Structure 1
């Protein structure tokens, strides 16, 4: 299934993206180990509800360029998001951000508060919540010698991790599993996975903004899978406690990739959140 159909040149790099619909813009930020494919069941439904929906593969992920010598950390991806919005002529935007995309969403909302109308954080990394214990083990054992991994061994490793993202393991199988594995079905693809994704699993990018979360003034909603194996629910509650006025919605029986376990529920929660009034901004 082809979800992203277009490419955009931003700051000298090629970004694969999808921009559909008219109305208030909503940007979907994906997580890891993933790409924008994870929003395939949700973004079109939000578009049908009357919104302009924008999804893209982070730099180094999915169909976007995988530059050999380019920073693809959370901080760099945050800067790139600003360039993408400028290139698409988007001023203010609603952000729906999952996992590592949630770190980008948090940082962008803090750096550019006048450009974010609403922020939804979906099973996001935060504080010192990442990398999870299974990812830390992979970092310790494989990151410095990943070139020795065969395709078969790599597929087995990533499949084990992907199966942890859903409460219903049968959902991460067949064509869906193959779509998540597809970007890494080559030596360059495997290298890109470790260099552009795993190497940047570093909680410093969220820990350094912990003290700033209280300054967020836009509506914030935290959406979480009850059975998330990577991001414990306690972190969702901590975010709600630290962000003024933030609300928490827990999806029963869903895992870390809540949009795979419960796409209809996720669509409903996003749709409802997009109707929340945005308070007028105080003049500067």
Structure 2
């Protein structure tokens, strides 16, 4: 007897496999994404440990020196006549004293002894054991540096992030500052001090030091992203060349550099009006002459912020630089240097 199906006979349908619902597929995709993220974080951590293996004295440019100020050793570079009036420069986020390379000689030619400092954790200054990067702590370091230099009152120029500590130093110790110049400064004015906010799950995760270090190693100090981030801060994108980006990356080789950036980021994000320089009333009482220099195309700290500061500080002046954004000193060095020279030569 044959077991084959007779011609014309209907074949029994095969049993159907249960269809996978979209929740199951979504979970698999999320799991795969998390696995890729963990792999990326792990590889970034390994790269960080491999690269960040040098001390400040091994890696810093030889022409600079370190001076003790408050609780750290500040790395400074100096230019111009040592007997000329002092001009102290504080840099912005991700920058250091070497990023003023297109500007310092023009400032020195205007008749100044130019001192460019690295504010920790940026650049080659040592980092505080307390991990205190608050605006008040940075201001105390600036005042300590002025005292260590023994030069008397200085003209203090702060750019972007460095503008906050510079303004704070001028308010805490106005006798140490002859004149305050803020360039596209990130001040963050607040009418009323606010309690620190709980940022939810994201803030909680960023509060875990190893995790935030891995995140910053992945997207912050990862060289592949350096040009991307720098372009976010400028209006003239063409100035972000490989050679310019390489200057910003020089301190990336320091031991613990990425980890300290995470410590700084947590404090910077959590500032909530506790500093003098965040309060409008402090600018109304400011006894130091104030000059504001701003890129007209700045989208990081828009021109309206400079105008608000000018209204608060009686007798202050505002110089607007056309065609440039948040970092005018690299976007159009010729324009910045010429206007700055005119400004510095004013009594």
Q: Which TM-score band applies after superposition, normalised by the shorter structure?
A: 0.7 to 0.9
Find the partner of 1:143 among 194, 199, 206: 206
1:47 aligns with 2:108: yes
Partner SS state of residue 77, structure 1: helix
Deviations 1:108-131 (A, max 9, x none): 2222222222211100012348xx
1:268 aligned partner: 338
User: What count of residue pairs does the alignment treat as equivalent?
Assistant: 269
State the match for 1:19 in structure 2: 78
Provide the residue aligned with 2:310 in structure 1: 240
Gap runs ≥5 in structure 1 = 130-135, 278-284
**Does residue 75 of the first structure (1) align with residue 145 of the second (2)?**
no
Aligned counterparts, 1:132-281, within 5 A? 140=203, 143-144=206-207, 145-149=211-215, 151=217, 153-154=219-220, 155=222, 156=224, 158-185=226-253, 188-197=256-265, 199-201=267-269, 202-204=271-273, 205=275, 208-277=278-347
Note the alpha carbon deviations across 1:140-199, whole angstroms, 9 max, x for none: 597333233384543255543321111122212302112213323577221121213453
Tell me the secondary structure at the aligned position of residue 345 of structure 2.
Answer: coil
Equivalent residue, structure 2, for 1:38: 99
More divergent stretch after superposition (204-213 vs 255-264): 204-213
Deviations along 1:5-30, one digit per CA (max 9) or x if unpaired, are: 21222335221101232311111111
Return the TM-score normalized by structure 1. Answer: 0.84
TM-score by length of 2: 0.70
3-state SS, counterpart of residue 274 of structure 1: helix
Cα gap change, 1:9/1:231 in structure 2, threshold over 3 Å: closer, same or farther? same
Extract unaligned runs of 5+ from structure 2: 1-59, 191-198
Structure 2 contact 277–283 (Cα < 8 Å) conserved: no
After superposition, the C-alpha distances for 1:228-269 in whole angstroms (9 at most, x for unaligned) are 121011101001111111111111111111111022222222
Q: Distance in 2 between matches of 1:146 and 1:8?
A: 30
CA contact (8 A) 1:14 1:65 kept: yes
